Amino acid sequence: MSFSTTTIIPPRILLGKTTTTYNNNNNDAFTLTHVLLPQPLVRGSCSISLSRTSYIGFVSKFDQTCSSSSPIMEEKDDDQKKLNLFSKSEQEKDDYSKELDVAVRAVQMACSLCQRVQDTLISKTNHQVQSKDDNSPVTVADWSVQAVVSWILSECLGSENISIVAEEDVQTLSKSNASELLNSVVKTVNECLADAPRFGVQKPKSSLGTSEVLDIISRCNSTGGPSGRFWVLDPVDGTLGFVRGDQYAVALALIEDGEVVLGVLGCPNYPMRKEWLGYQHRYHRIVSKLTPPNSDSWNKGCVLYAKKGSGKAWMQPLLNVNKMFVWPNHAKQVFVSSIDNPALATFCEPVEKANSSHSFTAGLAHSVGLRKQPLRVYSMVKYAAIGRGDAEVFMKFARAGYKEKIWDHAAGVIIIQEAGGVVTDAGGCPLDFSKGLYLEGLDRGIIACSGASLHGKIIEAVDASWGSSSL
């Protein structure tokens, strides 16, 4: 009986291996090699933890670059089946695996931070809530998440490579009457970073001081543009939902030469089971109190992410309390819905009437044949709902004078697109992320759909009814 032999290709950093040869009753032999690899992928002062992983015969190029994706291989009947997040061909041509790994860990940490702050916020008086110039509430979580994400990106990818566009600045925190708020932010940031090893990132050697926290927040001062690479962060998207204990999101995207190349969307109150989405936050809190904290229940939340050109979008649960993050953390591929019948489709729209016309979207829904009640959800959770197949349409038509910010859309757009959906402005043109902080040149509004058929019908309806609108 003949059988092929395989060669172990060592990774760039090989910390040790043990080899065991097995024989069955027919004297057929195979070799199982245990390779000790660094895990997870980190840079700078980030830690490298060790894990023992089994290989049969082959170590991928992706593993040679010290990525922490699951590298298990199987060989059967001369065919190799790779149980990994990305295919070998994708790994060889990919330029963003390292950035995606770090970004997902950063968002996971940010969501954990937000959950702790939200639990405190909805159970105590809101002394931690401030008001920005546009009168939308801002909490300790906004600045704390911005500080944590800025710190992780800089430490793991090198501060010289990091440019960040983010919603918050340090002006409010730097005011003389903001000392209590600033102290809360510093305390929250240090508590989060102390938990960093659980996410595969080394914590700071000592707690960050006030000036250090202000410094890492102030690094997020990029203005974007058509060239170069920069990150876009919305630390707490849907702040009204956050302070009310409802839906919100942490959104992080990487833009290169004006195009979104990867996006990560953390949705701490969006359960893995979609049927819980429609329940009000009070019911969420009641059920969460009845649920053991270590259970794999719906209230865990989720993180969605995608890379440009992969044709795949993924969802993983939020890391549970006291568990270690192991990439890809039970990730599963998500797809947009296959429903193209408007009568069966669910459409999402913003909760707030201030920056979206509910009356116009209601008219469009009727003319297209959308019969279900709209799902009004705070934040980019609307993009997540379409990306994972829980809804089919998202429409937003802002009132005159309102300018859409790039951080409110970048991460969600790429997730829907890679999951198989379509996102454009109301004229059918792609959203332009190359003009700075805003989506300049936006034609009337934004339309996201699970498929081209629904998308085309809505575009036609907009054209037919726009002249009679008051927008």
Alpha-carbon 107 to chain mean position: 6
- Taking the C-alpha atoms of residue 11 and residue 64, their distance in angstroms, rounded to an integer, is 4
One-character DSSP codes across 249-318: EEEEEEEETTEEEEEEEEETTS-SSGGGTTS-HHHHHHHHHHS-TTS--GGG-EEEEEETTS--EEEEEP
Contact 158, 104 (CB under 8 A): no
3-state secondary structure of 364: helix
- Is 390 annotated in the active site? no
| Interacting residues of 76 by C-beta distance below 8 A, sequence separation 6+ | none
Do residues 31 and 54 make contact, with C-beta atoms less than 8 angstroms apart? no
CA distance 302 to 388: 11
The 10 Å Cβ neighbour count of residue 208 is 17
Amino acid code (one letter) for 286: I
User: Annotated binding residue at 340?
Assistant: no
Residue 139 contacts residue 129 (beta carbons within 8 Å): yes
Catalytic annotation, pick one of 139, 172, 188, 239: 239
Residue from 63, 142, 246, 425 carrying the catalytic annotation: 142
With beta carbons less than 8 A apart as the criterion, state whether 253 and 231 touch.
Answer: yes
β pairing state of 375-376 and 347-349 = parallel
Per the annotation, does 234 bind a ligand? yes
Are 172 and 132 within 8 A, CB to CB?
yes
Q: Is 237 annotated as a binding residue?
A: yes
Q: Give catalytic status of residue 142 as yes or no.
A: yes
* Residue 134 among known ligand-binding residues: no
Pairing of strands 249-256, 229-237: antiparallel
* C-alpha triplet 179, 184, 190: angle, nearest 5°: 125
What is the distance between the alpha carbons of residues 456 and 444, in angstroms, rounded to a whole number? 16
CA distance 455 to 392: 10
Mind telling me the catalytic residues? 142, 239
Please state the residue numbers annotated as binding site. Answer: 167, 234, 237, 408
Please state the residue numbers annotated as binding site for Mg(2+). Answer: 167, 234, 237, 408
